[in-house]
C-alpha cells in the first residue's frame, strides 16, 4: 500500500505544480470572496499570482459584472461585447481553477480513504482522476500565459507555396486543410477570404480568418516555413520529394487600436474572382487587392460577391498587417522572424513532416515530435503550440534541434 500512497502523492504534487508556482517565491493573500462566483474550496490553498492573479481577476470580474447590469450597458454594442468577452474569459479562468482545486482535494481524500481500507481498485480510480487533473492544470496554465497585447484577438492566417511547383502547391493546400481542421476541433470559426489555385493541383496562396478566444495567441506560434517529405503522387517514378510552404499569422485588430494609413500610399486593384464559377464568380471585377507601397505589404479578398464588401475586408486585413509590423518592430525576435520571410526553403523551416520512408513530425524549435503524422495533418497541433508558447513565455528562446532526414 505504500506504493499506492507514493504514486498518489506524486500525482497530486504534479497536478498542483502549475497552480501553486507563485507560492514558491512569496506568500499571497487571497481576495475577498465574490458574490458572483462559487465559494472556493479552501481560501488558504490557492492564490495563483504568478500565473493567474486571483486578486486582480476577481476585482475586475466584479467591476465588469456591475457594469453589465447598468441599464445603458448595451447602448454601445461594440464596447459591450468587448467587456462581456473579457468578463467571460475571467469567469472561465477562475472556474477552471476552482474545478482543479475541487478535483485535487476530492481525489486525494478518496485515495487516502481507499488506501486505509485496502481497496486497490478505488485507489486506481483516484489515480486516474489525478492524471486528468494534472492535464487540466497544465492546460489552464498555458491558457493563463496567453496575455500578450493581441493574444485574445482573432487571427488572419496566410499560406504561400514555396519553390517546387505542383508539389509545393499541393503541400500548401494540405496545410490549409490542417489548420481548418484544428480551428474546427477547437470550436473556432474559420472563413476563407482569398485563395489562388495552383497550376495543376493545390493552391499557390490563401488567407483565412480564424475567430475564437485567444485565436491569435495560439496561432502565432505556427508562423514560419513548414517542410514536407514524401513520395510524390505526381511523380511517375515514385521518387521522394521535399516541399516547402510558409504560414504567417497576424492579429485582427479592432477599432480601439488606431492604425493610420494614408490612402495615397495604397494602390487598389480589382480583378475577377477565381473559383468554381457560378452566376457571379468570374463575371465581374469583385475581388480587391490592396498594395501598401511604402512597405510592399499586399492583401487581397475575394470572399464576397460585392466589391464594396471585399474592399472593406481587405482594408481590415491591411490594418492587421500594419499592426503586426509595428509589433515586430518592438520585438527583436519577431523582427528576426520577419527577416526569414525572404525565402521559403531549406534552412528556414520551423517544423518537418516526414511521410516516407518513415513517419515523423518534428518541431525544430522545441524538439517536440510524434509519429502520428495522420493525426497532425488532421489538425492535432496542440502539443506543438503548447511547447512553443511555453518556450516563448519562459524566455528560454528557440532550442537548437537537429532536423530529420
Most confident of 149-153, 196-200, 398-402: 196-200
Exposure b/e, 121-144, CB count within 10 A at least 16 = b? ebbeebbebbeebbebbbebbbbb
Q: Is the peptide bond before 344 cis (omega within 30 degrees of 0)?
A: no
Q: Which residue has the higher pLDDT, 15 or 221?
A: 221
- Give the residue among 270, 224, 274 at the shortest CA–CA distance from 244: 224
- Predicted confidence (pLDDT) per residue in 298-311, tens digit: 999 998 888 889 99
Per the structure block, which three cell numbers stand in for 376? 497532425
DSSP per position, 12-62: HHHHHHHHHGGGGT---PPPPPPTTSPPPS-TTT---TTTS-HHHHHHHHH
Query: How many other β-carbons are positioned within 10 Å of the β-carbon of residue 388?
Result: 23
Where do the DSSP E strands lie in 186-223? 189-197, 203-211
- What is the 3-state composition of the chain as percent helix, strand, coil, each rounded to the nearest 5? 45, 20, 35
Half-sphere exposure (Cβ direction) of 232: Cα atoms closer than 13 Å: 18
Bigger pLDDT: 20 vs 208: 208
- Write out pLDDT tens, residues 81-113: 888 888 888 888 888 888 888 888 888 888 888
CB 58 within 8 A of CB 40: no
Partners of residue 240 on adjacent β-strands: 231
Domains annotated for the chain, with CATH where assigned, are 2-144 (1.20.58.410), 155-394 (3.30.70.1660)
Packed helices 120-144 and 77-117: angle between N→C axes, nearest 10 degrees: 150
* Residues 133-162, mean pLDDT to the nearest whole number: 83
d(CA 51, CA 22): 7
CB atoms within 10 A of CB 293: 12
Q: How many helices (H) and strands (E) does the chain have?
A: 10, 11
The CB-based long-range contact list for 101-106 (8 Å cut-off, 24+ gap) reads: 101/19, 101/40, 101/41, 101/42, 101/45, 101/46, 102/41, 103/129, 103/132, 103/133, 103/136, 104/12, 104/15, 104/16, 104/130, 104/133, 105/41, 105/42
Query: CA 31, 37, 41, 47 torsion: positive or negative?
Result: negative
Determine the Cα–Cα distance for residues 9 and 3; give it in Å rounded to an integer. Answer: 10
pLDDT band at 271 (very low <50, low <70, confident <90, very high): confident
Amino acid at each position: 500500500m505504500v506504493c499506492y500512497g507514493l504514486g498518489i502523492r506524486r500525482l497530486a504534487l504534479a497536478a498542483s505544480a502549475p497552480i501553486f508556482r507563485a507560492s514558491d517565491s512569496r506568500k499571497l493573500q487571497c481576495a475577498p470572496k465574490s458574490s458572483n462566483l462559487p465559494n472556493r474550496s479552501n481560501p488558504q490553498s490557492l492564490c495563483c499570482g504568478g500565473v493567474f492573479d486571483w486578486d486582480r481577476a476577481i476585482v475586475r470580474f466584479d467591476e465588469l459584472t456591475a457594469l453589465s447590469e447598468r441599464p445603458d450597458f448595451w447602448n454601445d454594442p461594440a464596447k459591450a461585447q468587448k467587456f462581456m468577452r473579457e468578463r467571460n474569459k475571467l469567469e472561465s479562468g477562475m472556474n477552471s481553477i476552482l474545478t482543479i482545486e475541487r478535483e485535487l482535494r476530492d481525489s486525494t481524500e478518496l485515495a487516502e480513504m481507499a488506501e486505509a481500507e485496502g481497496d486497490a481498485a478505488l485507489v486506481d480510480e483516484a489515480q486516474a482522476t489525478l492524471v486528468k487533473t494534472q492535464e487540466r492544470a497544465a492546460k489552464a496554465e498555458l491558457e493563463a500565459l496567453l496575455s500578450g497585447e493581441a493574444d485574445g484577438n482573432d487571427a488572419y492566417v496566410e499560406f504561400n507555396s514555396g519553390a517546387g511547383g505542383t508539389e509545393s502547391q499541393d503541400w500548401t493546400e494540405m496545410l490549409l486543410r490542417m489548420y481548418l481542421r484544428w480551428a474546427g476541433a477547437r470550436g473556432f470559426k474559420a472563413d476563407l477570404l482569398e485563395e489562388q489555385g495552383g497550376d495543376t493541383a493545390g493552391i499557390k496562396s490563401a488567407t483565412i480568418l480564424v475567430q475564437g478566444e485567444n485565436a491569435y495567441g495560439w496561432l502565432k506560434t505556427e508562423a514560419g516555413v513548414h517542410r514536407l517529405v514524401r513520395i510524390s503522387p505526381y511523380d511517375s517514378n515514385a521518387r521522394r520529394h521535399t516541399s516547402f510552404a510558409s504560414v504567417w499569422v497576424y492579429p485582427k485588430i479592432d477599432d480601439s487600436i488606431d492604425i493610420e494609413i494614408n490612402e495615397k500610399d495604397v494602390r487598389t486593384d480589382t480583378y475577377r474572382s477565381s473559383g468554381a464559377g457560378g452566376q457571379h464568380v468570374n463575371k465581374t471585377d469583385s475581388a480587391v487587392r490592396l498594395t501598401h507601397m511604402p512597405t510592399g505589404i499586399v492583401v487581397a479578398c475575394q470572399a464576397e460577391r460585392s466589391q464594396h464588401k471585399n474592399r472593406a475586408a481587405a482594408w481590415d486585413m491591411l490594418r492587421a498587417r500594419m499592426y503586426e509590423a509595428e509589433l515586430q518592430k518592438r520585438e527583436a525576435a519577431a523582427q528576426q522572424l520577419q527577416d526569414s520571410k525572404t525565402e521559403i526553403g531549406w534552412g528556414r523551416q520551423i517544423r518537418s513532416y516526414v511521410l516516407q520512408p518513415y513517419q515523423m513530425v518534428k518541431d525544430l524549435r522545441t524538439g517536440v515530435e510524434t509519429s502520428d503524422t495522420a493525426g497532425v495533418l488532421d489538425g492535432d497541433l496542440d502539443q506543438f503550440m503548447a511547447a512553443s508558447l511555453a518556450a516563448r513565455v519562459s524566455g528560454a528562446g528557440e532550442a537548437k534541434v537537429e532536423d530529420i532526414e
